[in-house]
């Protein structure tokens, strides 16, 4: 898979990539954000990967993310996340609507006997035999320019996620449990989870 190591900073590139993704059976999705001294998360990056390419959208530079909203709302494309509660909250606050047709690899792994809260890092290590360098996990994602290590870390969140999804869905299909994982993943699409009032 190709990875574009220069974050997309304009709507034209985002639109072109999202249009390609609309033809895919599934994409992987992740975000990087800050939640220090603020009630709502400050979205900094959005990572997407399709069958050929992984990209980063600089959410601080691209102000119009309508192409991404359209992609996330597409029923025909599975959106693969790992433990998506915070990511979906961000998208809900951004677009005032929820994504459609999501799949959570954390839930999927639980149907294969893993602990319910298994981390992304542990899944990558178990299923891909790769250890993720977590040095950038809590870095300042709002600082620009991003360095090489940050970019690689952000891209790995969606490139490995695609591979894990393929492996998990294959094993779940053999056990006739894929529908269970898909159905249970939709629990994150309860709008009540994200309708919060910070004044309360």
Is 32 noted as a catalytic residue in this protein?
Answer: yes
**Do residues 51 and 23 touch, judged by C-beta distance below 8 A?**
no
Question: How many Å apart are CA 199 and CA 18, to the nearest integer?
Answer: 36
The catalytic residue among 32, 89, 104, 114 is 32
Q: Decide: 83 and 106 in contact? Cβ < 8 Å.
A: yes
- Asked if 29 and 91 touch (Cβ cutoff 8 Å), the reply is no
| DSSP state letter for 76 | T
Q: Which of 120, 153, 160, 165 is catalytic?
A: 153
* Rounded CA separation 192/195 (Å): 5
Asked if residues 9 and 60 have their Cβ atoms less than 8 Å apart, the reply is: no
Query: Which one is catalytic: 58, 87, 89, 114?
Result: 87
183 is catalytic: no
As a whole number of angstroms, the distance between CA 81 and CA 87 comes to 8
Q: List the catalytic residue out of 58, 89, 114, 157.
A: 157
The question of whether 30 is a catalytic residue gets the answer yes
Active-site residue, 58 included:
no
Kindly give the residue spans of alpha helices, DSSP state H, lying in 27-147. 66-72, 85-95, 105-110, 120-128
Q: Would you give the distance in Å from CA 111 to the centre of its chain?
A: 20
Tell me the catalytic residues: 30, 32, 87, 153, 157
């Amino acid at each position: 898979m190709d990875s574009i190591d220069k974050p997309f900073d304009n709507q034209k590139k985002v639109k072109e990539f999202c249009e390609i993704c609309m033809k895919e059976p599934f994409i992987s999705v992740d975000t990087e954000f800050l939640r220090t001294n603020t009630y709502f998360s400050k979205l900094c990056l959005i990572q997407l990967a399709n069958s050929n390419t992984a990209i980063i959208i600089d959410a601080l530079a691209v102000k119009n993310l309508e192409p991404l909203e359209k992609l996330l709302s597409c029923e025909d494309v599975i959106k693969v996340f790992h433990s998506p509660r915070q990511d979906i909250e961000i998208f809900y606050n951004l677009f005032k609507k929820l994504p459609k047709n999501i799949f959570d690899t954390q839930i999927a792994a639980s149907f294969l006997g893993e602990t319910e809260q298994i981390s992304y890092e542990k899944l990558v290590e178990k299923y891909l035999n790769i250890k993720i360098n977590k040095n950038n996990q809590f870095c300042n994602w709002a600082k620009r320019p991003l360095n090489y290590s940050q970019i690689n870390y952000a891209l790995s969140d969606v490139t490995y996620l695609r591979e894990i999804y393929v492996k998990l869905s294959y094993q779940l299909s053999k056990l006739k449990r894929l529908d269970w994982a898909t159905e249970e993943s939709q629990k994150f699409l309860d709008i009540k989870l994200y309708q919060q009032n910070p004044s309360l």
